[in-house]
Amino acid sequence: MPLTISLPEFLNNPNYNTNLNNKQIMKKTLFLSFIGLTSLASAQSVKFGVKAGVNFATETASISGVSITSDTYTSFHFGAIADIGLQNFSIQPGVLFSVKGSSSTNSSGTSLTYIEVPVNLLYHIPAGPGKVFFGAGPYLGYGISASNGVSFGSTTDKVANPDFGLNLLGGYRLNSGLLFSAGYGLGLANLINNGNGATLKNRVTSISIGYFF
């Protein structure tokens, strides 16, 4: 069902005030990230690279048991990544500048800009002049700016910070270092501060191109 109100209208509606707590989920996300990074000790190879691409972002709201999804907001992401080889597996952390958000029939779009740290566990399968890869992992994003009169903060009229969730990732990496990938970010953090059961979460489908040096 299309979201017929804008994000600022949603946040400022007193009927959607909530009291949900994201701390337990965020602790689990950080724990999984820590486990991934400790694999550095047994790494066979470490490579560094960059990637950039397009985001197709939406926001999913749940109100009184009814879920609605916003129209797609097209944006972008870019940043640095590393690949820590473990035989057919690898740990791939990164630091990304990623713009998420939503649009609706009443708004041209609301952007939410994050500095995001994903940590993905990937499995690689040799194929032709490169490898097919796929995997998943947690991410943590800290909001740094927003548009359309929206801002990050802890009051009921602001967007909750940080964002965190789960990434799904797949693609193809050439032996030369060039890579192509597609991903899906499933937000688990409630973007609404202090509400009566209402939730608002980020969803992002992304397409990327990158290069490992």
Note the pTM of the prediction, 2 decimals.
0.81
- Which residue bears the tokens 């990158």? 210
pLDDT at 21: 55
Tokens standing for residue 87: 């035989």
Q: Which domain holds residue 172?
A: 7-212
Cβ atoms of residues 61 and 3 within 8 Å: yes
Whole-number pLDDT of residue 1:
46
Please indicate, yes or no, if residue 165 is contained in any of the structural domains.
yes
- Determine, yes or no, domain membership for 1: no
Q: What is the mean pLDDT of residues 6-20?
A: 53
Number of domains in the chain: 1
Examine residue 76 and state whether it is found in any structural domain, yes or no. yes
* Model confidence pLDDT, tens digit, residues 29-42: 566 555 555 555 45
pLDDT at position 86: 86
For residue 25, what is the domain's CATH number? Answer: 2.40.160.20
Position 38 in a domain: yes
For residue 25, with 0-12 CB atoms within 10 Å meaning exposed, 13-18 middle and 19 or more buried, which class applies? middle
User: What is the DSSP-derived secondary structure letter of residue 61?
Assistant: E
- Let me know if residue 2 belongs to a domain: no
